[in-house]
């Protein structure tokens, strides 16, 4: 059983920064495409950023230039650095590990941005 545990969320003022972390158990991490998603109250879940097992990245247009996803295969971890936070970034942020054979989710970490 694979577990994904997110951390690093919190309450921050607009313009601030946060670094979210996701630690994965199990041996599939380095084979997985890792992603960060978010879901704001009353809205659908959306993809924020994704990083392939070879390190290629892709971002949602709404976060391009402010968010940076990275991974450390030695630590079975993926990170999301969020700069210039906006109130619109307020959401639960969820870590995802997937391939053609599996799709795992973490429990999420809350990010709240005050204006």
Tokens representing 81 are 């650095």
Q: What does the pLDDT read at residue 90?
A: 97
Q: What does the pLDDT read at residue 26?
A: 82
Q: What does the pLDDT read at residue 113?
A: 97
pLDDT tens per residue, range 52-75: 999 999 999 999 999 999 999 999
Q: Which regions of the chain are under pLDDT 50?
A: none
Q: What does the pLDDT read at residue 27?
A: 85
Average pLDDT across the chain, whole number? 95
Q: Give residues with Cβ within 8 angstroms of 6, minimum separation 6.
A: 20, 21, 22, 93, 94, 95, 106, 107, 108, 109
Asked if residues 49 and 33 have their Cβ atoms less than 8 Å apart, the reply is no
């Amino acid at each position: 059983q694979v577990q994904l545990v997110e951390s690093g969320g919190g309450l921050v003022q607009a313009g601030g920064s946060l670094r979210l972390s996701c630690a994965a158990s199990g041996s599939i991490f380095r084979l997985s495409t890792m992603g960060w998603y978010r879901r704001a109250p009353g809205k659908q879940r959306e993809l924020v950023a994704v990083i392939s097992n070879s390190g290629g990245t892709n971002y949602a247009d709404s976060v391009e230039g402010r968010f940076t996803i990275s991974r450390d295969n030695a630590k079975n971890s993926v990170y999301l650095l969020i700069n210039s936070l906006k109130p619109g970034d307020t959401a639960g942020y969820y870590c995802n590990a997937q391939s053609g054979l599996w799709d795992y989710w973490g429990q999420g970490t809350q990010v709240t941005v005050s204006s």
